[in-house]
Structures are given as structure tokens and as C-alpha cells.
Amino acid sequence: MGDYIDAAKSNWILGFDGKSLSSPTADLWRVKKDGGAFDAAAGATISPRAVVKAVKNTLNYVAAEHATLFGA
């Protein structure tokens, strides 16, 4: 558990490289087992689901607070 986000143990986390709120579309911000765009290791979906949700929530937050975070 947690090895997904450790790049030294797995390249899974690199699947987020180049992603944005529009790519993939909002409906695909889920693991493939749930009809989304992100892989999950065989038999394990709880951690990948949580990470996908956290990354999407972070992207939403940054989009909503962009001016506050980065200035005008």
C-alpha cells in the first residue's frame, strides 16, 4: 500500500504526467476498473482510487484559486 506513489518502487504515479482537468475529461478521472483512464495494479483499487481523486481535487483547487496562489 502506498508503493503506487513512490517512483522508486513503481512508475504508476507517472501516469499523471501531462494530465489536466480537460485531459482526460472529467468523467474519465477514475481508475479503469471504474470506467476511467487510470490504471490500477491487479487486485488493488482502493489506493489508486484515492490518489486519482486527490490529484483531481488538487487540480480543481488550483484552477479555482489560481489568482490567489500565483497572483494576477
Residue 1's pLDDT is 59
Residue 41's pLDDT is 74
Residue 66's pLDDT is 95
What residues in the chain have per-residue pLDDT under 70? Answer: 1, 42-43
Cell 508503493 belongs to residue: 3
Write out the three cell numbers for 23.
485531459
Residue 56's pLDDT is 97
